[in-house]
Amino acid sequence: MMGYEQVEPSIKPQNRYMPGLDGLRALALFAVMGYHLHLDWASGGFLGVGVFFVLSGYLITDILLNQYRNERKLDLKTFWLRRIKRLVPAMLFVLVVVTVFLLLFDGSRLLSLRGEVFSTVFFMNNWVMIFHQVSYFESFGPPSPIAHLWSLAVEEQFYLIWPMLLLLGIRLAPRRGSLALLIACGAAVSAIAMAVLYNPDGDPSRVYYGTDTRAFALLIGALLAVIWPSRQLGSLMSVKGKIMLELIGAAGLTVIIWMIWRTGEYDAFLYQGGFVLLSLATAFLLASLAHPSSRLGAAFGCKPLRWLGKRSYSIYIWHYPVIILTTPAVDTGDTGLIRPIVQAGASILLAAFTWKYVESPVRREALGAIWANWKRKQKVQINRKWPVIISLGLIIAICASCSGQGSSNAPLLSPVPSTTEESAKPDAGNGNDTGRQEDGTGIGITAIGDSVMLDIKPYLEEQLPGIVVDGKVGRQFGEGMELIDQLKSTGKLGDIVIIELGTNGIFTENKLRSLLDSIADLRRVILVNTRVPRNWQDDVNETLASAAKDYENVTLVDWYSFSANHDEYFAKDGVHIQPIGSKAYAMLIAENIS
């Protein structure tokens, strides 16, 4: 994927090998894997992709500038061919294996990949997801095992366009300082675009996926290549210079680790300058690691980190499908560290296999010799059959994805039990117009929620006769706020309100407090937290708990803890609720009201 353009001396002696950069790859990889494994220390682990972007921008630009200095031209055909050979074979191999696995063991899930394989192969996946409004953070239904490959699309688009832009920049600004200023302006435009397009009240996936809004990371890496070219970094440096170099690297490393540990995908800070801070910190660290006299570079270039770094592309493209395909949708217990360790180990083993039998033969241009030997002897060893296997498997993948119906862009699943309606509105004559609650009944109680509310509706009406229930598939928190305002303005809101929202995505604490302030005159407000196997679950529950304690009329119902170790409560998607769970849910709410 990202930042894999560095080559070893044995392969390309004219380009300098910097072992510390392999350690930086390993650090970024750990962060991304930790995030996808939902480890507590990696709430900001998705920032590892940003680290890769900066690294890739540096290495690509360093290679291009070095070629231009030596030859006074850029061999774009050779450049693009090398990029394809570096990235495509391993990616196709993973796509084939994932497709065959789903075809054999979970054919229904394969249907949801319709179109996604094509957009991934042609490196347009990020824009397809933007166009269809597919969220990286709030994707519903079974997660796509290849959703993480959007970043390859950003990389390949950069590889396609950047050499031509760089050549133009060299012609317009031949001096190093002028070229650096030009690149810095481009990075600034991209960063400003992210800040302007970011909507703090919505899902950030548009600016997260966009090539235009992520280009600043690649350009900051490119800027570093202009002012800190690897081939011109000598080993001789003053003591003062070495100390400054180590301090700069340590500062960058500290910022990166702090952001991985303390930030989250919904922090407005990230999209309003935080990603730029991450990119600059990465550039500082990268500058230190690239210098031959750096002690930090020597530490990052130790053998274990080098081993992981060299295989980090394969590990990256393998780890997410391994995690997605081996994690049960319904899992209400505490699995501890056993499953993450096994998943990480499996990812590394598969990556090692791919590195040896797919990446290395292509990277060392050994496939031509293998093919010639096959034609001569008509018999090859198994490790020389992979090109044919990959080609056949790709045909299977394309045919399988074409034959399916449906789309990966459908954001929601229909509720499983209880009802087939998309929305359950209040029944005519149910409750009273005054909204006053009558003890021992559900009269004067309004329940508002999403598809989970639809699941429990019949059982809630049984527990609390006369209750008014309004549930809707896919309802976001903002829609719930609008409904509550509408009901209140028309005098149809009960003086006890049950709010179950959070299944479909995050909302800010400010939004929640604004809602609670608007209904502070009600007798009681019942907030119900969520259990949903998605990244936003803990954020939603923390937001609810934080706000609820400051309002005297608010009660927090802890459905998350109540449903722990009760897999039987949930449908196969791990979100919607079976009848036995719906009954327990309704009883829990009724008990809290009484």
Q: Which of 222, 231, 189, 178 is nearest to 54 (CA)?
A: 222
Give the torsion through C-alpha atoms of 59, 65, 69, 74, to 10 deg.
110
Distance CA 218, CA 31 (A): 19
Least Cα distance to 560 among 587, 585, 535, 580 occurs for 585
Mean pLDDT of 481-485: 95
Q: pLDDT tier at 235 (50, 70, 90 boundaries)?
A: confident
Taking only the tens place, the pLDDT of each residue in 321-344 is 999 999 887 888 777 789 999 999
pLDDT tens column, 177-232: 999 999 999 999 999 999 999 988 777 889 999 999 999 999 999 999 999 999 88
| Mean pLDDT, residues 149-168 | 95
The amino acid at residue 217 is A
Chain mean position to CA 416: 27
Query: Quick one: pLDDT at residue 435?
Result: 65
- Does the pLDDT of residue 389 top 70, yes or no? no
pLDDT of res. 254: 98
- Tell me the domain boundaries of the chain: 19-403, 423-593
Instruction: Give the residue-averaged pLDDT of 378-387.
Output: 51
Decide which of 452 and 134 is more confident: 452
pLDDT tens readout for residues 406-432: 333 333 233 333 333 445 555 433 444
Residue 1 above 80 pLDDT?
Answer: no
Above 70 in pLDDT, residue 499? yes
Q: What is the pLDDT of residue 407?
A: 36
Strand partners, 496: 445, 524
Closest of 288, 283, 352, 254 to residue 20, by C-alpha: 288
Q: Closest Cα to residue 461, out of 441, 478, 436?
A: 441
Q: What is the mean pLDDT of residues 534-549?
A: 91
Q: How high is the mean pLDDT of the chain? A: 86
Chain-centroid distance, C-alpha 50: 11
Section 87-109 average pLDDT? 91
Q: Which residue has the higher pLDDT, 15 or 374?
A: 15
DSSP secondary structure of 147-197 = GGGHHHHHHHHHHHHHHHHHHHHHHH--SHHHHHHHHHHHHHHHHHHHHHH
Handedness of CA 538, 256, 63, 293 (dihedral sign): negative
Inter-residue contact 140 to 112 (CB < 8 Å): no
Q: Are strands 554-557 and 524-528 parallel, antiparallel or unpaired?
A: parallel
The number of residues making up the chain comes to 594
Categorize the per-residue pLDDT at 506 as very low, low, confident or very high, splitting at 50, 70 and 90. confident
Q: Taking Cα atoms as reference points, which of 265, 312, 276 lies closest to residue 46? A: 265
Domain 423-593: give its CATH architecture. Answer: 3-Layer(aba) Sandwich (3.40)
Active site (catalytic) residues: 451, 573, 576
Predicted local distance difference test score (pLDDT) of residue 411? 31
Mean pLDDT, residues 509-527: 94
504: tokens are 């479909």
- Higher-pLDDT residue of 495, 106: 495
Cβ partners under 8 Å of residue 407, min gap 6: 112, 114, 115, 132
- Span 454-468, pLDDT tens digits: 999 999 999 999 999
* pLDDT tops 80 at residue 515: yes
**Mean pLDDT lowest among 36-50, 86-100, 156-170, 395-409:** 395-409
Percent of the chain scored above 70 by pLDDT? 84
Question: What does the pLDDT read at residue 504?
Answer: 86
Residue 556 · residue 548 · CB < 8 Å: yes
Arithmetic mean of pLDDT, 161-166: 96
Q: Rounded CA gap, 63 and 42, in Å?
A: 32
Per-residue pLDDT at 441: 83
Q: Which of 109, 498, 41 is nearest to 261 (CA)?
A: 41
pLDDT > 90: percent of the chain: 65
Provide the residue type at 444 as one letter. G
Residue, of 538 and 111, whose pLDDT is higher: 538
Q: What is the mean pLDDT of residues 472-481?
A: 91
DSSP state of 274: I
Write down the pLDDT at residue 567.
93
Of 308 and 430, the structure prediction assigns the larger pLDDT to 308
**Three-class SS of residue 319?**
helix
Q: Nearest CA to 528 among 548, 551, 499, 503? A: 499
Output Rg (C-alpha) for the chain, integer angstroms.
27
